[in-house]
Amino acid sequence: MAEHYRKPYLDASVFIAWIKGEVVAGAERGKIAAHILTLAERGEFLIHTSAITLAEVHKKRRKPTLEESEDEQVLAYFEHDYVKLIDVDRRIGEQANGFSRQYSISPNDAIHLACALRAECDVLLAWDSPLTGVTHPAIRIEEPRIIGQLALEA
């Protein structure tokens, strides 16, 4: 694992953890996600994610949908200059099709991997065990974590 993120790609699960303030098995996912977003807000790096994330954040598998206010908040977040959306086109779709078969991951996870590679990200961050189990030679895929010093709350 690297000491810092240079060009992270965030899966929808990271944004959902942030907006929901998730705590799973004692892990404060919401706090970890907020830390990563704060680093981007400070200009330490740009956040990359697929345009599909705009739809995917609405509902995580086997979880309730976002409340309307949460949906509005997270969609507004994607409008920041430090959030870069990667468009899904035919090439991404075809590459994702191959990744779905090769790694036995969901089509959406495969799209995230293809988009992260297109953006030349150094790491794909997700709380999604099928995706985080993938080993790809061109990118690290791992669960998000606190890096550096925690941001002080105002």
pLDDT 10s digits, 48-62: 999 999 988 886 666
Segment (H or E) for 112: helix 107-118
Residue-number span of the structural domain to which 37 is assigned: 8-142
> What pLDDT, on a 0 to 100 scale, did the predictor assign at position 61?
61
Residue 2 lies in a domain: no
**Domain membership flag for residue 153:** no
pLDDT for the residue 124? 98
Given this model, what pLDDT does residue 80 score?
Answer: 96
Total domain count, the chain = 1
What sign does the dihedral 3-32-112-103 (CA atoms) show?
Answer: positive
Q: How far apart are CA 44 and CA 34, in angstroms?
A: 14
Looking at the domain assignment, is residue 154 inside a domain? Answer: no
Half-sphere exposure of 50 (CA within 13 A, CB side): 28
Q: Judge whether 35 lies within some domain.
A: yes
Under 8 Å between Cβ of 117 and 138: yes
Tokens of 136: 């790809």
| Residue numbers in the chain where pLDDT is lower than 50 | 1-2, 154
Considering the entire predicted model, what is its pTM? 0.89
CA distance 86 to 92: 10
CATH of the domain at 34: 3.40.50.1010
Question: Is residue 34 in some structural domain?
Answer: yes
| Domain membership flag for residue 51 | yes
User: Which distant-in-sequence residues (6+ apart) come within 8 Å of 78 by Cβ?
Assistant: 49, 53, 54, 85
pLDDT digits (tens, 9 = 90+) for 76-88: 999 999 999 999 9
Whether residue 43 is contained in a domain is answered as yes
